[in-house]
Amino acid sequence: MTIKISEVMTTEVETISASQTAREAASFMLRADAGSIPVCDGDKVVGMITDRDIAVRGVAEGRGPDTPVSELMSDGIICAREDDDIHDVARRMGEEQVRRLPVLDAQDRLCGIVSLGDLSREARGDAAQQALEGVSAPGGSHQQ
């Protein structure tokens, strides 16, 4: 039986705009207990910003808390489609070594986000295991 990613994704997703500050992004992450947030222009995803982007990239480059998200975010992000198979998404997460993927609808609008936690709630749990093995492997760019 095929399980679509739309059946396990989180649909209530807070976003941030590229013009908002690193401080605002970090405040969101603290409140939501999340390590990343989609960066959107309206309902279109233009990037992701992670706690790692802020702490490692930002601090390493001497950027302050008022730095615009656009200067720290990762662009060229990997997304899932709401009708993608859960195992295909898990494989992609593992290959790309990412813990969360924005989910887009047929019009390329953000409609959700899928995390390792969402995958782990899938009945058999093998999708989460597949993604976790890839995410945990040494190496990779860790951009999202």
Q: What is the pLDDT of residue 142?
A: 47
- The whole-angstrom separation of Cα 1 and Cα 40 is 33
CB 40 within 8 A of CB 17: yes
- β-pairing verdict for 80-81 and 100-104: parallel
**Considering the chain, what is the average pLDDT of its residues?**
86
pLDDT, tens digit, 9 for 90 and up, residues 68-117 = 999 999 888 899 999 999 989 988 998 888 889 999 999 999 999 998 88
pLDDT, tens digit, 9 for 90 and up, residues 28-48 = 999 988 889 999 999 899 999
Q: What is the pLDDT of residue 132?
A: 54
Number of CB atoms found within 10 A of residue 137's CB: 11
Q: Inform me whether the pLDDT recorded for 52 exceeds 80.
A: yes
